[in-house]
């Protein structure tokens, strides 16, 4: 083994294996490993130009610093060696004489270190398990590898981020997370540790991340190299800023993104949609966007309005604009085998291929294949069709659904993209899907780009991705799960996030229990980055099967407007529509901070109160920007709420105006029309009238 410096890089070479440790922006390193003659050139999420820094290199003999190596026990078996150090701002990587890597902050405190359990390694964890920290296991006869990367576990460590998973825990310590996308699951493999560092697994391969009590283990089933990014900071905000500098930041949020979005499954025709918008305005209610959901098209993959039900898109868009409402249109990446575009796309290699078996990926409402969003030509083709058939009417916001993509089944080993086998790169699909529309909209002069996308990966934020949490169930349990999902997405660098208010699957609007759930969710939605109503609202209308030119037409769910859930509930929902409007200037400031520094709009309490131990423990409330604490009611029948108020601030109940000193838990009233909200340090925010 040899350790040496090459320009600003520290290299560990052992046989055919090379490990590169590079400074990567401020206070950060990128670590890569290969067993090939050349390092794989894919930068994946780390494709932003980062600030150039000048690292400091140091060497020291082992005996000079560590009493362990001075001991008679060690000297009996081993000789002395040299430790190598590379320091980049507030982070130092140490490569020991034995070849393992550990990371320290600028105070000399250990952040994390590799996990070795091999008696052939000369270290204090010398045991005969033959488990290495870095393993690239070649698949025979190929240049593809199975990859393991292992790090020590720390009992005091808490893990936050990693994207969106449908479970109850905000803290991911102890979790096993699948590194792949599914409907309602978005793998965004960056986390912030309570030990003062952030870590990005810079690999879009299918695999797992295990944050065990005995070790942390990353696994990729098929890949070309090991690649990760690690950054240190004195605060979670500094860590987030370092990370988003390397992966990109959200653009400026368009003004319509700050207000209320109306959506349902589904507005079946032009007049139905316009009548909802007209009634909103007649009632004096604010609305910034209305969504035309799926199956408004002639056929999947045609990317255009069905003319019988949508006879005059230009007049529709113009009328909505006159009311100050943005038109949002659903786009699916599914190309029906009977689509007018299927032949050309297949002929040009613009569709995802199957290495074996049937090339059809979904059979819902047609036999369809996903287009290959990793192919630049396919990106341009799809955008060109949407420009010709939607953008020309003035539609500039697109709902990019099915973005995982939602394979049926998720047999990743059979699919192949322009970018490579799905096993190696499928997690980049939603990012590239959003990139195609971002680039297209930019090419026609749009400045503030936003796409509603049902998935994300590391870096998606820079392409104007607003992620929502997918087809979740209508229940209080699901609502609680969405809170941790939204907070962990925000920590993972995706600041624009929302959920289907009331849940998507189920939800009978005549059921009083569902009405309570919807009201509580709507109140919470007013304090989410984007405020958007949506849902299937079963049971669906009973209609006979309907066809247009041989194409099956999709029916619709129950009504899903603010006046659809009873008069008393209407008054509550109306109240929160105007709460959101009063918060517009504050939300604009929060969005601009996300754009300039990568600061999450919604974030766990520890983000702002990192010196308060209880802030790291609290999982059922959060900060909405720097000055508003929100404690959603997420249990049926609850009429009061226990709220922890972090130390280091004075808190004012936004409803009662009563003041509390931080560092204590208080119980406050929470009748059905109240969501507990507190304002920090006397800030003049008129949340409630």
Task: Kindly report the CATH number assigned to the domain that includes residue 653.
Answer: 2.60.40.1180
**Residue 687 domain flag:** no
Q: What is the mean pLDDT of the chain?
A: 95
* 49: nearest Cα among 84, 65, 26, 25: 25
Task: Kindly report the CATH number assigned to the domain that includes residue 201.
Answer: 2.60.40.1760
Among 22, 98, 372, 404, the one annotated catalytic = 404
- Write down the pLDDT at residue 545: 78
- This prediction's pTM: 0.96
Q: Within this chain, do residues 113 and 214 fall inside the same structural domain, yes or no?
A: yes
Q: Domain range for residue 66?
A: 2-247
Nearest-angstrom CA–CA distance, 267 and 421:
38
Of 685 and 32, the one with more pLDDT: 32
Of 614 and 128, the one with more pLDDT: 614
**Residue 170 domain flag:** yes
- Geometric angle at alpha carbon 333, from 457 and 398, rounded to 5°: 75
pLDDT band at 70 (very low <50, low <70, confident <90, very high): low
Q: Within this chain, do residues 629 and 591 fall inside the same structural domain, yes or no?
A: no
**Residue 442 domain flag:** yes
Look at residue 77 and tell me whether its pLDDT is greater than 70: no
336 catalytic per annotation = no
439 catalytic per annotation = no
Task: Kindly report the CATH number assigned to the domain that includes residue 394.
Answer: 3.20.20.80
Tens-place pLDDT, residues 584-635: 999 999 999 999 999 999 999 999 999 999 999 999 999 999 999 999 999 9
Q: Within this chain, do residues 331 and 429 fall inside the same structural domain, yes or no?
A: yes
Cα dihedral across residues 512, 513, 518, 523: positive or negative: positive
**Residue 30 domain flag:** yes
Q: Within this chain, do residues 469 and 588 fall inside the same structural domain, yes or no?
A: yes
Q: Within this chain, do residues 203 and 327 fall inside the same structural domain, yes or no?
A: no
DSSP lists the bridge partners of residue 330 as 399
For the chain, the C-alpha Rg in angstroms (whole number) is 26
Tens-place pLDDT, residues 21-65: 999 999 999 999 999 999 999 999 999 999 999 999 999 997 655
Nearest-angstrom CA–CA distance, 434 and 453:
7
**Residue 374 domain flag:** yes
Q: Within this chain, do residues 72 and 202 fall inside the same structural domain, yes or no?
A: yes
Listed residues 566, 596, 626: the one ending a domain: 596
Among 240, 288, 401, 523, the one annotated catalytic = 401
279-to-190, 325, 523 alpha-carbon distances in Å: 44, 13, 21
Could you tell me if 263 and 559 are in contact, meaning their C-beta atoms sit under 8 angstroms apart? no
309 catalytic per annotation = no
Per the structure block, which two tokens stand in for 570? 């209407």
Tens-place pLDDT, residues 449-503: 999 999 999 999 999 999 999 999 999 999 999 999 999 999 999 999 999 999 9
**Residue 525 domain flag:** yes
**Residue 689 domain flag:** no
* 630: nearest Cα among 669, 663, 677, 584: 677
Q: Within this chain, do residues 179 and 115 fall inside the same structural domain, yes or no?
A: yes
Strands of the 91-95 sheet, one edge to the other? 56-61, 82-88, 91-95, 101-105, 110-113
Mean per-residue pLDDT, 552-574? 95
Listed residues 247, 279, 313: the one ending a domain: 247
Percent helix, percent strand, percent coil in the chain, to nearest 5: 25, 30, 45
Q: Within this chain, do residues 71 and 214 fall inside the same structural domain, yes or no?
A: yes
Q: Within this chain, do residues 471 and 367 fall inside the same structural domain, yes or no?
A: yes
- Total domains in the fold of the chain: 3
Q: Within this chain, do residues 564 and 494 fall inside the same structural domain, yes or no?
A: yes
Look at residue 123 and tell me whether its pLDDT is greater than 60: no
Among 217, 471, 536, 627, the one annotated catalytic = 471
Mean per-residue pLDDT, 167-175? 97
Could you tell me if 467 and 453 are in contact, meaning their C-beta atoms sit under 8 angstroms apart? yes
Q: Within this chain, do residues 585 and 614 fall inside the same structural domain, yes or no?
A: no
Listed residues 213, 247, 281: the one ending a domain: 247
Tens-place pLDDT, residues 669-680: 999 999 999 999
Q: Within this chain, do residues 160 and 289 fall inside the same structural domain, yes or no?
A: no
**Residue 685 domain flag:** no
């Amino acid at each position: 083994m040899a350790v040496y410096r090459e320009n600003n890089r520290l290299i560990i070479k052992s046989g055919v294996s090379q490990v590169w440790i590079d400074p990567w922006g401020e206070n950060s390193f990128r670590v890569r490993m290969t067993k090939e003659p050349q390092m794989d050139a894919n930068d994946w999420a780390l494709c932003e130009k980062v600030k150039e820094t000048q690292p400091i290199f140091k060497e020291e003999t082992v005996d000079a610093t560590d009493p362990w190596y001075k001991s008679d026990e060690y000297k009996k078996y081993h000789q002395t060696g040299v430790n190598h150090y590379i320091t980049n701002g507030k982070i130092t990587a140490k490569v020991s004489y034995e070849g393992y890597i550990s990371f320290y902050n600028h105070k000399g405190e250990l952040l994390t270190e590799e996990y070795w359990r091999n008696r052939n390694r000369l270290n204090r964890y010398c045991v005969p398990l033959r488990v290495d920290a870095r393993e690239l296991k070649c698949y025979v006869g190929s240049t593809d590898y199975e990859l393991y990367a292992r790090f020590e576990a720390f009992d005091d460590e808490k893990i936050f981020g990693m994207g969106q998973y449908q479970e109850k825990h905000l803290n991911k310590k102890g979790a096993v997370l699948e590194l792949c996308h599914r409907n309602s699951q978005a793998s965004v493999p960056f986390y912030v540790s309570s030990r003062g560092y952030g870590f990005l697994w810079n690999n879009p391969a299918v695999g797992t991340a295990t944050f065990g009590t005995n070790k942390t283990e990353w696994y990729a089933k098929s890949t070309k190299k090991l690649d990760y990014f690690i950054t240190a900071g004195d605060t979670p905000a500094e860590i987030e800023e370092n990370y988003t500098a390397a992966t990109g930041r959200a653009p400026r949020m368009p003004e319509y993104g700050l207000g209320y979005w109306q959506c349902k499954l589904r507005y079946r025709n032009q007049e139905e949609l316009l009548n909802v918008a007209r009634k909103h305005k007649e009632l004096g209610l604010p609305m910034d966007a209305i969504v035309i959901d799926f199956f408004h098209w002639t056929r999947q993959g045609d990317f255009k309005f069905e003319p019988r039900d949508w006879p005059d898109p230009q007049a529709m868009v113009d009328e909505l604009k006159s009311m100050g409402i943005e038109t949002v249109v659903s786009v699916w990446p599914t190309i029906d085998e009977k689509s007018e575009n299927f032949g050309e796309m297949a002929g040009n290699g613009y569709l995802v291929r199957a290495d074996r078996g049937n090339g059809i990926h979904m059979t819902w409402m047609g036999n369809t294949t996903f287009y290959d969003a990793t192919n630049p030509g396919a990106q341009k083709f799809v955008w060109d069709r949407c420009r010709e058939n939607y953008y020309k009417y003035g539609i500039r916001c697109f709902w990019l659904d099915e973005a995982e993509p939602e394979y049926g089944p998720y047999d990743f080993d059979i699919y192949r993209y322009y970018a490579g086998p799905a096993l190696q790169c499928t997690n980049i699909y939603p990012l590239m899907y959003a990139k195609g529309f971002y680039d297209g909209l930019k090419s026609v002069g749009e400045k503030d780009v936003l796409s509603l996308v049902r998935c994300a990966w590391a870096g998606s934020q820079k392409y104007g991705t607003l992620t929502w949490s997918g087809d979740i169930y209508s229940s209080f349990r699901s609502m609680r799960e969405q809170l941790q999902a939204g907070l962990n997405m925000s920590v993972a660098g995706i600041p624009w996030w929302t959920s289907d208010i009331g849940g998507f699957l189920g939800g009978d609007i005549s059921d009083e229990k569902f009405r309570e759930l919807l009201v509580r969710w709507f109140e919470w939605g007013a304090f989410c980055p984007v405020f958007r109503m949506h849902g299937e609202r079963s049971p669906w209308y009973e209609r006979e099967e309907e066809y247009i030119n041989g194409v099956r037409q999709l029916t619709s769910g129950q009504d899903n407007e603010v006046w659809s859930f009873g008069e008393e509930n209407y008054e509550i929902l109306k109240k929160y529509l105007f709460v959101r409007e009063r918060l517009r200037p504050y939300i604009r400031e929060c969005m601009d901070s996300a754009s300039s520094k990568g600061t999450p709009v919604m974030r766990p309490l520890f983000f702002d109160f990192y010196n308060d131990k209880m802030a790291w423990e609290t999982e059922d409330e959060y900060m909405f920007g720097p000055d508003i604490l929100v404690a959603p009611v997420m249990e049926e029948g609850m009429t009061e709420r226990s709220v922890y108020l972090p130390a280091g601030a004075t808190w004012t109940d936004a409803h009662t105006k009563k003041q509390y000193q931080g560092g204590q838990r208080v119980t406050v009233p929470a009748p059905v029309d109240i969501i507990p909200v507190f304002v920090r340090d006397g800030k003049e925010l008129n949340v409630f009238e």
